[in-house]
Structure 1
């Protein structure tokens, strides 16, 4: 290959978005962020929404910058985002209102409503998805019970990356991995569970067929091609759920490997050939989300670095400005045994005064609340590492095999303190990186669709040679065991 193949990955997270330019020379992949932009929700009289038009404008700017890099063409573009959120469009293709943010309060109580109508066991058996109020199923149920006129006006439901692909090309397609996060897709058929939705009174006329990752949607729309300068680019649907893309870039292989996709959320799990929908899986509330090649990501959502993000924002509102690096440094310097809590306490789900909520959670269990900024962040990171161990131990029981290595990918892999705590408390070797896993996985799928990689089986070797991970060996000893024992005692888990 005389000239590297260039492709652009658009990766939207809950806090920011970026356009990443990848170049593949046939053996190694390099990535460079060409544009980063904030992703701040809008609180309107109707609730908490995503500013999708603003994000789309930022994506176009990122593609313009990508087209100017190096002077060689961008061959393809693909978009990945978070899961569960969706847009509705009418029969003309027009967007019906701004999509809601999954942290909007409208879904409060909807899990109980669905369970009363259908039953918790049946919902899990049919969908295999973890019960969380943010899920699309409960968003649609809230709209149905509220008589939202948008449901009847809608001609098509598009997950967030589906909508952005439509705006880029004029072609609509609903990708499978993101659709599986909705709790509206059957694990038996891989298609929408219309019977389940019908029993909850949710309309299904706007649900289309699903397409696999790697689907080529065709070229950019002429106006987009002209505006961005990416005239030769095709739009390739990656694994559009960001975690599915991140897991595609995990450099480890084998049945003893687990992963933590670490960012705003921490997704702790394994790759499996079939979903786990047993009673044991329901008891620990795991989720079975779609992956590449029809695989499943058997995992559990843990609240993740959202907690630190909200601590930072609360401090900033009070006039104290800290970078994430500074917060981590203070956490590393904090002395004494940290107060501990369950990161998945429902009180932490919504935006707000996270330091006050953490203090309250600690006091409820008879602990002294953290008194310093460093102490609060250390309590958070240690509690996260403890929850990771709890999930990994439960997955071992569920799958009947030992998980000896944990690959931490995503932005959280840069947090050396969290990686070291995870190794110590879980008693497992932690491999950190790549930090850009989501964009890398997105790019690998594009390169496969373009014919420059054979299959997902090629991905780990490319990732290892391109982005060597850093190892953290466990060394916490009895102190780490005592911390975990104390965490289980205060959380009741």
Structure 2
């Protein structure tokens, strides 16, 4: 690569797609070059929803080959969604394909978990938002229904840790991804023996923890020969994509709100230590570990999943709509007619989202949307109002006021959602960068290599490298009125 130019290879996996990107630092700016993109298609087999993990590893190999041909790289880093995992046997082989968090195996699991440990104690220990999809509850479902499989497990590897193992042969669990499990002690940053023992899980299956930015190992000689590429370090970046995105938020303020916007909307702020209070427990706000030991205090909100799954479902019915089509239908429909609670459990599994929206509105005594455009309008406005709810709750817990929101990630290409977020929250919204997760992944690798000094310098470089679009709030009185309706409908007011 040219003198002065430092390049690293970023793999960023979302719930529906993945890509390989070369992140390059040159002349004080970062640039991103996509070298490989691929779909991520979970597979239903006899009622179980699996990730096609070997296919995804094949795509990683293709990305490495293409990136090497495009100029080369000094390091590889992988980030993915949270909570999901592979089970490894004592011979280092997967016991089965990893199961998707949207699988129904954890439906109704919470009462069974709370027989073993109260939600209050669980939150006080881990600081993690209690959701059925959490790793802790997935493992409990195995304990209750497939104990034989759990007994054959030597180690559990969360998704980015699994990919790192396939590349290096080294077994570790990176701290940010481990913090999504509901099994990590929020204060000590170690596996919580209290939670693990309460749930009756084998302590031995949990691997050694390593901080974000640590070298996970070297690309194996076998892969180097197979792919015809030089050996290089594999960096354990923030394995959880949310933490990579948070690392790339181009904020100048010490206290800021961000939304990492994609399949999920992760709405939160950055704190020096976890917030573990009765109020944060009441609001079920999560404390995840970010880069440099920071805590991201945030809400996990089902985001553009609503629109992605609507589009997928309609395609199966023979109706082809683009995302732009669905956004246009929403824009053209009358505002403020009905709302849903985006956190309602019926919206988690794949399927007929439009009908579920209609059923939700009927059950809550509201106008029932009649057209696809009205359904989409309901979804968009409900997401924006959920942002407002999250802003109020986080502000109450931290005792701080926030007048600016940084929206990052692929979801900000949906300008309608960005505009509604500003209006609903009554805040200026700064949108950008789209490639926040990839920037954060790349920046952490470059910090690990010594090319960037620290995360503060990385954020300055990202601000110089990207154009930020500003959205201002409008029609605030009508949005405030609608928020009061939303609170009554969703039971928070």
Q: What is the TM-score normalised by the length of structure 1?
A: 0.97
Aligned to 1:141: 140
- Measure how far apart 1:438 and its partner are: 0.7
Aligned to 2:38: 37
Distance 2:121 2:171 in 1: 31
Aligned to 1:228: 227
Aligned to 1:120: 119
Post-superposition CA distance 1:139-191 (Å, at most 9, x none): 11111111432211111111111110111112222100000100000112111
Aligned to 1:264: 263
Aligned to 2:54: 53
Distance 1:351 1:76 in 2: 36
Q: For residue 196 of structure 1, give the secondary structure of its aligned residue in structure 2.
A: helix
Post-superposition CA distance 1:179-204 (Å, at most 9, x none): 01000001121111122211221111
Post-superposition CA distance 1:213-253 (Å, at most 9, x none): 11113331122223334314321110010000010000013
Corresponding residue pairs, total: 491
Q: Is the 8 A contact 1:64 1:227 kept in 2?
A: no
- Measure how far apart 1:441 and its partner are: 0.4
Q: For residue 117 of structure 1, give the secondary structure of its aligned residue in structure 2.
A: coil
Distance 1:350 1:160 in 2: 20
Q: What is the TM-score normalised by the length of structure 2?
A: 0.97
Q: Is the 8 A contact 1:67 1:228 kept in 2?
A: no
Alignment of 1:470-481 (within 5 A): 470-481=469-480
Distance 1:339 1:85 in 2: 34
Q: Is the 8 A contact 2:212 2:237 kept in 1?
A: yes
Post-superposition CA distance 1:70-89 (Å, at most 9, x none): xx321111100011011111
Q: Which runs of 4+ in 1 moved over 4 A?
A: none
Q: Is the 8 A contact 1:432 1:469 kept in 2?
A: yes
Q: Is the 8 A contact 1:20 1:439 kept in 2?
A: yes
Q: Is the 8 A contact 1:26 1:452 kept in 2?
A: no
Stretch deviating more after TM superposition (414-423 or 85-94) = 85-94
Distance 1:248 1:272 in 2: 13
Distance 1:320 1:381 in 2: 21
Aligned to 2:348: 349
Q: For residue 79 of structure 1, give the secondary structure of its aligned residue in structure 2.
A: strand
**Uncovered stretches (5+) of structure 2, i.e. residues with no partner:** none
Aligned to 2:12: 11
Aligned to 2:176: 177
Q: Is the 8 A contact 1:314 1:355 kept in 2?
A: no
Aligned to 2:412: 413
Distance 1:262 1:54 in 2: 26
Q: For residue 203 of structure 2, give the secondary structure of its aligned residue in structure 1.
A: coil
Q: For residue 18 of structure 2, give the secondary structure of its aligned residue in structure 1.
A: strand
- Measure how far apart 1:48 and its partner are: 1.0
Q: Is the 8 A contact 1:219 1:232 kept in 2?
A: yes
Distance 2:237 2:226 in 1: 23
Distance 2:66 2:41 in 1: 22
Distance 1:26 1:214 in 2: 23
Q: Is the 8 A contact 1:8 1:22 kept in 2?
A: yes
Alignment of 1:259-338 (within 5 A): 259-338=258-337
Distance 2:258 2:132 in 1: 24
Distance 1:372 1:46 in 2: 31
Distance 1:3 1:255 in 2: 31
Say yes or no: does 1:198 pair with 2:204: no
**Uncovered stretches (5+) of structure 1, i.e. residues with no partner:** none
Aligned to 2:215: 216
Q: For residue 144 of structure 1, give the secondary structure of its aligned residue in structure 2.
A: helix
- Measure how far apart 1:472 and its partner are: 0.5
- Measure how far apart 1:26 and its partner are: 4.8
Distance 2:468 2:153 in 1: 46
Aligned to 1:398: 397
Distance 2:47 2:304 in 1: 28
Q: Is the 8 A contact 2:186 2:274 kept in 1?
A: yes
Q: For residue 179 of structure 2, give the secondary structure of its aligned residue in structure 1.
A: helix
- Measure how far apart 1:336 and its partner are: 4.4
